[in-house]
Amino acid sequence: LPVFVGGSIAVDSITEERERGTLELLRAAPLSATDVVDGKALAAAGLAPVQAALWVGLLELNGTSVANLPHLLVLVGALSAVVVTLAAALALLTTERRVAQLSYSMGTLVLFGGTTLHEDGPVGLAARLALDSVGPGATVVVAGYAVAAVAGYLGLRRVVARVGLD
């Protein structure tokens, strides 16, 4: 859930800046539009792993052990980065906040629903990691999500350049 909240924050933050014209004001600072979008995306994507770590801490305090914490945090961070970069790109390509938020919400519902249909999807992987019931290939799958996150970030930078904000 925190992964999808980060994406929603990114959509709102970027579309609001564009609708109100305040993105131009931010550019008065010695920052490029790419820097501004990077900062917004990083802040939104960083929420999910922090929340996940805090939740795991609460579970541990309540006597519930969670296995593979480093893998889980990398997985959550990577998924958050993927979702946030997609959301930010959508916000940049869609000038109206309502349209962007509705498109993002519908897209994440379909994405989330689709991944739960397969046991090897990110939700199932997170559950198996937490329960320590994964095979040796789990590290490779988590690394694959991290690669997807980097690709998403690079794609977002291309969208910023395409939209012509810089």
Alpha helix positions (H), 67-164: 69-93, 97-116, 122-131, 138-163
- Quick: pLDDT tens for 51-92: 999 999 999 999 999 999 999 999 999 999 999 999 999 999
- Quick: pLDDT tens for 103-121: 999 998 898 888 888 777 8
Q: Whole-angstrom Cα distance, residue 50 to residue 9?
A: 15
Other CB atoms closer than 10 Å to residue 69's CB: what's the count? Answer: 16
Other CB atoms closer than 10 Å to residue 84's CB: what's the count? Answer: 32
- Quick: pLDDT tens for 140-149: 999 999 999 9
Q: Which pLDDT band, with edges at 50, 70 and 90, does 166 fall under?
A: low
Per-residue burial over 120-152, b if 16 or more Cβ lie within 10 Å, else e, is eebeebbebbbeeebeeebeebbeebbeebeeb
Is the separation of the CB atoms in 162 and 39 below 8 Å?
no
Mean pLDDT estimate for the chain = 90
Say what the pTM is.
Answer: 0.90
Is the separation of the CB atoms in 56 and 72 below 8 Å?
yes
Q: Residue 27: its pLDDT value, please?
A: 65
Cα angle 143, 124, 59; round to 5: 95
